[in-house]
Structure 1
């Protein structure tokens, strides 16, 4: 899948392939030309991805080839045991989680899971959890707390499922309860936005001691398209909406809403999934070691203070 702003890069890469094919099929020496073109492509890539608009980063966050939660779990951990069900209604396939070992450390991993094709997307409900998904997540967090295991959540959702049946089963209550309970968890909690971080659907598993974002992700109360449809009665203004929402990782860090940004490979996480997974793994290991040094009372106190300090109150 090629995005609009990647077309000039793709055109040069096409020329490079033609040049390399010519060199392979004939005795013509094009070494200097190949080297020069490779340098030009690399320079264009750096310039392009360093100056992406907010909407372009939203597009990258949705790239269908980006690693999803289960990809990170498979690549980062050993002995993953997936746990199912909220013990009340059902097992929400849009929310996955279970115990695993991260570099030998037992942890609980929880995250939203999207699908790569139509069948998988329907099975995972496009990464939009129902109330039972958030209740399953809370059940697993409480289980982790019981066995003194750190919790890692991976956030990637266009929002909680907005269907009538989800509201009837208490979507708002389920998310609100997660917010309340996550503040008081007696184990370290690390939250990472790995793709889309939309509204309460993301926030429902995003109260942590450290909240991190991958470089080309977004985190906002509403998506650019929905914002555009409300303000302009049309999706045509989604790019302006993205600019106004200030939803990128850089924006979130400047606003003090997240604690750090994890760099992606040049071109996005999907261009080198193995490198991205290795980078996230090392970041998590380092952060867990840092949090493990804090007493439980201080951990909870800092977590509450951090979120309480967000926003501005005018009387």
Structure 2
């Protein structure tokens, strides 16, 4: 059953009426509603195109958070073969908000890791809604170290509201773990590719996305803080999240213009949740293209490229 976002309510009414007509026709074989249903379908398609033609930053946040959007586990299952999960940070525990392991991409051995939010109440609680604790980032560090040791490209899939801010996480060194993971991204001498598939929130995302190549899905977001958090700090009012989303420049289009990311991966009309198979394929094609761009480079060249990329951020347009 399709889940509709707040701004999609008019679309829900039209598609709901079309489905009601078809349900009546199934109950009464003598009833022909094909013309009426086709007319409603055409109206819905037009409205969908209008709604998604010029999404505001806040609406893009809503699309990025859609519960039916493909998650990390979906990309791993579809795009990778021989996936062997690796668990634990060898220090405290295994964080289920971060999944990763050895796999093959287009028959090439790689290390893949990412944030997983879960897709129902039970799995979301188990995965802590994609908010990693320190042991999750330390697991990521361990896997990146292993990839560097064996010369395996690292592919990260980012989808998190941010790192978990709970008391236990802070006691176990959350900030230090995020900083170490970001540092490890800058140190490894293998290709590092990151794709923001939903939300890229704060340092929790940067710890996975300090990469040679960073891509974003068309309706994903990537920001130093959530719009609600920003609004609470600046205006003491979380309801000003729309204004905050505008100010944060968190859309893929803004970030490509600012040079923060390298490419935008298009989604079908209505978002990735309406075109799951096509979106998964598009991300796979983008990952393949980015790996090709980095193939043949030495470890030292990859590290230098990564450092230059991030040190140059914010310099565009500055006077010499």
Q: TM-score range, shorter-chain basis?
A: over 0.9
Q: Number of aligned pairs?
A: 315
Distance (Å, rounded) in 1 between the aligned partners of 2:132 and 2:91? 15
The alignment status of 1:58 with 2:64, answered yes or no, reads: no
The alignment status of 1:42 with 2:55, answered yes or no, reads: no
The alignment status of 1:244 with 2:243, answered yes or no, reads: no
Query: How far is the alpha carbon of 1:293 from its aligned partner?
Result: 3.3
The alignment status of 1:197 with 2:197, answered yes or no, reads: no
Query: How far is the alpha carbon of 1:295 from its aligned partner?
Result: 3.0
C-alpha contact 2:144 2:184 (8 A) present in aligned 1: no
Question: Which residue is equivalent to 1:174?
Answer: 177
Distance (Å, rounded) in 1 between the aligned partners of 2:134 and 2:25? 59
The alignment status of 1:4 with 2:2, answered yes or no, reads: no
Describe the superposition over 1:34-89 as per-residue Cα deviations: whole angstroms up to 9, x where unpaired.
44443332222112112111111111111111111111101111110000111111
Query: How far is the alpha carbon of 1:21 from its aligned partner?
Result: 5.2
Distance (Å, rounded) in 2 between the aligned partners of 1:179 and 1:230? 25
Question: Which residue is equivalent to 2:17?
Answer: 15
The runs of 5 or more residues in structure 2 that have no matched partner are: none
Question: Which residue is equivalent to 2:299?
Answer: 296
Q: Superposition pairs for residues 225-264 of structure 1, below 5 Å?
A: 225-264=228-267
The alignment status of 1:94 with 2:97, answered yes or no, reads: yes
Question: Which residue is equivalent to 1:118?
Answer: 121
Give the stretch that moved more between structures: 167-176 or 212-221. Answer: 167-176
Q: Secondary structure at the match of 1:90?
A: coil
Q: CA RMSD in A?
A: 2.0
Give the stretch that moved more between structures: 205-214 or 35-44. Answer: 35-44
Describe the superposition over 1:107-153 as per-residue Cα deviations: whole angstroms up to 9, x where unpaired.
11010111223322221122111111111101101101111111000
The runs of 5 or more residues in structure 1 that have no matched partner are: none
Question: Which residue is equivalent to 2:143?
Answer: 140
Question: Which residue is equivalent to 2:111?
Answer: 108
Describe the superposition over 1:236-295 as per-residue Cα deviations: whole angstroms up to 9, x where unpaired.
111111111111111111111011111112211111222211211121112212211333
Query: Taking structure 1 as the reference length, what is the TM-score of the superposition?
Result: 0.93
Give the stretch that moved more between structures: 78-87 or 28-37. Answer: 28-37
Query: How far is the alpha carbon of 1:164 from its aligned partner?
Result: 2.1
Q: Secondary structure at the match of 1:205?
A: helix
Question: Which residue is equivalent to 2:74?
Answer: 71
Out of 184, 189, 214, the position equivalent to 1:186 is 189
Distance (Å, rounded) in 1 between the aligned partners of 2:22 and 2:88? 53
Distance (Å, rounded) in 2 between the aligned partners of 1:164 and 1:21? 51
